[in-house]
Every structure is written in C-alpha cells, then in structure tokens.
Amino acid sequence: MWTCKTFSELSLAELYELLKLRQEVFVVEQTCPYLDADGKDMDALHLWSSDEQGMTAYARIFLPSTTEPYARIGRVITAARARGLGLGQELMRAAIGLCNGRAPDAPIRLGAQVYLKRFYRSFGFVEIGEEYLEDDIPHIDMERPAITDLGSHER
C-alpha cells in the first residue's frame, strides 16, 4: 500500500523516517556527503510504502509549476532490507500514476543515475541531454511523455 502526503500533512515521525531512509541510502550507503534537506521538501509530494519495520520505498514528486512545465520524480529509494522484492518497480508505477493523475498534460522528468537508465527506460523514459556528475555520481536527465502525448502507447 502506498501513502502520499504533502509536507504539511507529514507527521514528525514520518518526516524523520523519510529523512533517515534518504540519508541511509544517499549519504551513507552511496558515500555521498551532501545536504539532503535541500529546502525543496515543503513543495513536494512524498510517496512511500512501509512495513512493520518502517519505510520500505520512497520517492519525492513535484507537480508542474510556473517555472517547470513538467512533473519531476526524485529521491527514488528502496530500503536495503526491502530490495529484490520488486518495490522499485511498484514505486515507479505509483509515482508515474500519481503524476499522470494530477497532471496528465505534463511530461515527467527525473535525474537518473546512469547505471539505472535501463530501469527507467522500462517505464517509458528516454534520455534528454548529456551525462553529468552530481555529487561525483554519473547522472543523465530522462523524460517520459505526457499521457496525452502517448497516443496508443501504454499509459
């Protein structure tokens, strides 16, 4: 089961847990010291699943705005203990469904770690632009067309 909340809807315990999971994966596991609390969480939707031990998967979603005419999915993570169960795929399907439901006319973008290009391609994302380094990790921007642009393709 997936839970989606705005920043103001998060309980303190939920906020703590999502920040903890992001730090465990992005800062500790990937040995990437950076400021995860980047001031953008207040404008995002927070999507996650949990089990009795806590959050198992999480993504941060931004809907289109006046400055960005596309939705954006980021901070996509699966907890180490929950990997290999297909949660990453379920998370992406839920995140795409959320974006399509709330902004069907907007494409969806994400900044993918290069080794995950194939994973994101399986959801209809294509590379846009050149590879770049973010926190010394190779990334590439990817985009999935708006559902209104997909025509007869899978939605």
pLDDT band at 52 (very low <50, low <70, confident <90, very high): very high
- Cα Rg of the chain, angstroms: 15
pLDDT of residue 152: 43
Q: Are strands 3-6 and 45-51 parallel, antiparallel or unpaired?
A: antiparallel
- Of 3.40.50.2000, 3.30.360.10, 1.10.260.30, 3.40.630.30, which CATH number belongs to 2-107? 3.40.630.30
What are 140's two structure tokens?
Answer: 């590439």
pLDDT beyond 60 at 138:
yes
Q: How many residues does the chain have?
A: 155
**For residues 98 and 92, what is the distance between their CA atoms, to the nearest angstrom?**
10
pLDDT of residue 30: 86
132: amino acid identity, one letter? Y
pLDDT of residue 151: 55
DSSP state of 102: H
61: amino acid identity, one letter? I
pLDDT beyond 50 at 3:
yes
Which residues 6+ apart lie within 8 Å of 129 measured at CB?
140, 141
Give the 3-state secondary structure of residue 26: helix
What are 10's two structure tokens?
Answer: 């998060």
pLDDT one-digit tens code per residue, 80-106 = 999 999 999 999 999 999 999 999 999
What are 99's two structure tokens?
Answer: 């974006």
pLDDT band at 153 (very low <50, low <70, confident <90, very high): very low
pLDDT beyond 60 at 13:
yes
pLDDT beyond 80 at 115:
yes
Quote the percentage of the chain above a pLDDT of 90. 83
